[in-house]
Amino acid sequence: MNNIDTFALNFSPASLTVLNGVLAIVMFTIALDLKLSDFKALVRSPKPLLVGMLSQFLILPAVTFVLLLIFRPQPSIALGLILVAACPGGNISNFITHRAGGNVALSVSMTAVATFAALIMTPTNIAFWGHLYAPTREILQRISIDPVSLAITVGFMLLLPLVLGIMLNTMRPELAARIRKPMQWLSMGIFIAFIVLAVAANWGYFLQSLATVLLLVVVHNTVAFGSGYLTATIGGVSEYNRRAITIETGIQNSGLGLILIFGFFNGLGGMAVVAALWGIWHAISGIALAAYFARTEAAR
């Protein structure tokens, strides 16, 4: 693993274009569950959403920084963990929240609001925590990330398809209802296939770094779920809402993370391995957590 901080994964420009398209489809699919009226309901009762945003964009990056101080991983791995923590909730969080018996409406709304907030919060968290930790500060200074370009990329990949999906569901709800399920399965299948192919193309390199990075990803993901549940508990929301906030905090948009890594960090090895393993592991851990939650009905 000596060269993980300098190694760039094999990932062609054409593959990056495909990933951009897949992520746009994923966000459009999420938006098919949203209407403007959903946001009006949150305005009337905003506490669970505010607690969720606190957990997502403030608590998770902070506990990630503490993990870096404890484990002291190599710089590119550390920056990968920071970047994943700075991303909004992932596309499978709504499905997993449903399986867990949590508040799906809150989950979908958190995904949408976090996606809008990511335009500012994702570049801000990467810059703040990345510069605060000395080893990753060197990478950021060497690569010289432009926060404005980063925000524009986040906007096009996440916000535009989200707005289009909400518009379709508001103006043509019958069409949105007809294509919602097929689009959900299609987008999830394509995304998983893409991650598998990306890992296969760099299999030898993944084997070199698998043990160390997988351990960190598992610990990081576990802490993310734990901090989400603790934040929601301290925030005084119901168990029904706690489950949604927990899952939204522990399921991250690793697809966006990969796009940012290859678009702005030249496919830096440690970062890409972290994001790819997150993309696989959080689905496994999320489904397992949902099965545990589903054993009891959540109090509302």
Q: Which residues of the chain have pLDDT under 70?
A: 1-16, 38, 41, 144, 191, 194-195, 198-199, 201-209
Q: Give me the chain's average pLDDT, please.
A: 85
Fold classified for 13-293: Na+/H+ antiporter like fold (1.20.1530)
| Tens digits of residue pLDDT in 24-41 | 887 788 778 777 776 776
Strand (E) or helix (H) holding 264: helix 254-264
Spatial distance between the Cα atoms of 126 and 151, rounded to a whole number of angstroms: 11
Confidence at residue 268, expressed as pLDDT on a 0 to 100 scale: 82
With a CB cutoff of 8 Å and minimum separation 6, the contacts of 68 are: 78, 81, 82, 133
For the chain, give percent helix, strand, coil, nearest 5. 80, 0, 15
Spatial distance between the Cα atoms of 73 and 277, rounded to a whole number of angstroms: 16
| Tens digits of residue pLDDT in 112-163 | 888 888 889 998 999 999 999 999 998 888 876 777 777 787 777 778 888 8
The structural domains of the chain, with segments of one domain joined by +, span 13-293
Q: Are 73 and 81 in contact (CB under 8 A)?
A: yes
* Residue 117 exposed, middle or buried by CB count within 10 Å (0-12, 13-18, 19+): middle
